[in-house]
Structure 1
């Protein structure tokens, strides 16, 4: 099946517009855009509290990109904690054939839902 002109145009015309930042949190890297919510590993912050992340790896203000080595100096991302949640249940099943050994466990990851309030570089908000 070959792509139609409509689908190729949609793919080519859909670059990310607006500001975004790539930050390091909970040992992982996240692509954050303003006024969107994300689920991170559980953070020790109360609901409706704010959190500032200083480990910003990359910042794009819509025109120019700033890449840190390893972090962008003076860049912060302001997050508002919306809720503490739990992720989907994952079933872990281990079995040794012909030994009558079976073990079934479940796991739900503890998550914190955060809203990105602002991305700031050098004291100036870009979003």
Structure 2
């Protein structure tokens, strides 16, 4: 059985036991969370709604992304970095 869930403005196809990395969700490791479910399915049968529960495994940070801006011939250069806060989730049940 699988489900399509939405969190952090993105959609993920998940099943029991999957681990996914999503944008930060508040909570400590071991906390159970309920995700917004768009649809569930098994094989070719698809139904709307359902419930997906997940457990927070860890709170981490993503890779650093460098933002570099330059305008040629104007002596203009800007360098900035960003690391996104992420949450690792383990799907415990799809109902």
CA offsets per residue over residues 60-111 of structure 1, 9 Å max, x none? 1235211x3xxx1xx1101000000001111110001100100011111100
Within a 5 Å distance, the mapping from 1:23-102 to structure 2 comes to 23-53=5-35, 55-62=36-43, 64-66=45-47, 68=48, 72=49, 75-102=50-77
Q: TM-score, structure 1 length as denominator?
A: 0.71
Q: TM-score, structure 2 length as denominator?
A: 0.93
The whole-number CA distance in structure 2 between the counterparts of 1:30 and 1:105 is: 30
The whole-number CA distance in structure 1 between the counterparts of 2:31 and 2:37 is: 20
Shift of the alpha carbon at 1:31? 1.2
Which structure has the larger Rg over C-alpha atoms? 1
Gaps of 5+ in 2: none
Measured on the aligned residues, the alpha-carbon RMSD in Å equals 1.1
Gaps of 5+ in 1: 1-18, 121-127
1:110 corresponds to: 85
Shift of the alpha carbon at 1:23? 0.9
2:3 corresponds to: 21
Please give the secondary structure, in 2, of the residue aligned with 1:98: coil
Q: Which has the higher contact order (CA 8 A, sep 6+)?
A: 2
If each structure's helix is expressed as a fraction of its own residues, which one has the higher value? 1
If each structure's strand is expressed as a fraction of its own residues, which one has the higher value? 2
Shift of the alpha carbon at 1:25? 0.9
Moved over 6 A (4+): none
